[in-house]
A and B are shown apart, each in its own frame.
Chain A
Amino acid sequence: MSTDTPPRFIHYLGAFAAGGLITLMLLTNGTLAQYGTLLFSSWVPHFTGTLVALAILLTLRPARASQKPPPKWAYLAGVSGGLTVIATSAAMNSALALSGTIALGLAGQILFSLFADAKGLFGLPKRRPTLRDLLGLALIAAGAIVLIFWCNAT
């Protein structure tokens, strides 16, 4: 399966900007976790997010891209997201601490994404990274490691 749209600058910019949203979420959800439990800090954004997403769907009424219904398993991303919270909080409270957990998490995310691209996992387009892709990935990972361990970046 593939899409009609070739990669454009706007797609790269969108993904980069999404990374900025994580920083904002770490701030909001991290603050919530100081006042309630960690589970609470995950439950609240899921609850308000559901309401906001529903409001967006009802207002914009975006068309479905395909007549064919999506496979049932494609609806399960939320479970994976919930499990992430549990696995992360368990690791964070071990000797790994926050920085170790984040660094290993980034490694897991990068390895999974390379594997997913190579296999075209779950019906997304198959892709082979070029040497430059891998070099870029390594440089960004190295930069992230420096920031995580020596600059308290999260």
Chain B
Amino acid sequence: MTLFIILAIGAGGLVGLSRQLNGRLALSTNAWESSFWNHIVGLVFVSLIAVIAAGLFTDAPLDAPWWAYLGGPIGVLFIAAGSWAIARIGAAQTAMLIIAGQMISGVILDIGLLTQGQLWARDLGISLILLGIWVTRSQK
């Protein structure tokens, strides 16, 4: 269990590491180029893992709805935005705002999809996050 806890925390650390490196690359190049390198290097790496693990094309991926294939273009924008923001507002504020945006949009999506959730938890969670953004922003 300890191993999995370390892996889960480490996965978050790797997200931060990746953003830090992309941000550094964008300082010398630009946000779009850093997003391009992130994707092509990641593609080579994932392809290598796939060759080793031999588990890329199983099941019936072509049955997936067309919009499920839009994650790539969205990711390009996501990496570019992160690389652009991190050099200007820092790693902690970037991480914090991305998490806040992810959580709030997730709740909006849940409401849109009519997903069942605890209403008190939804209200409390969103309130804490908005309060957190306000606390940090109001000092400027």
Q: Give a binary string over B101-140; 1 marks a CB under 8 Å from any A CB, 0 the rest.
A: 1111111011000011110111011111101111111111
Q: What residues of B have a CB within 8 angstroms of the CB of A133 in the complex? A: 92-93, 136
Contact B4 A15 (CB under 8 A): no
Contact A19 B101 (CB under 8 A): yes
Task: Give chain B's interface residue range (CB within 8 Å of chain A).
Answer: 35 or more
Contact A21 B8 (CB under 8 A): no
Chain A residue, CB-CB nearest to B67: A28
Contact A113 B91 (CB under 8 A): yes
Considering only residues 1-29 of chain B, those with a C-beta below 8 Å from chain A are 1, 4-5, 7-29
In the complex, the 10 A-B pairs of residues with the closest C-beta atoms, listed nearest first: A19-B101, A108-B12, A48-B72, A78-B41, A143-B128, A78-B42, A139-B132, A136-B136, A112-B16, A150-B121
Q: How far is the CB of B90 from chain A (nearest CB, A)?
A: 4
Name the contact of B82 in the complex, choosing from A8, A18, A143, A153 (C-beta under 8 A).
Answer: A18
Q: How far is the CB of A128 from chain B (nearest CB, A)?
A: 10
11 CB contacts below 8 A, A to B, read A12-B89, A15-B85, A16-B97, A18-B77, A32-B64, A39-B56, A53-B36, A65-B29, A132-B136, A147-B126, A151-B122
A108-B10, A140-B96 given; A21·B72 CB < 8 A: no
Considering only residues 90-144 of chain A, those with a C-beta below 8 Å from chain B are 90-91, 94-96, 100-101, 104-114, 116-117, 121-125, 127, 129-130, 132-133, 135-144
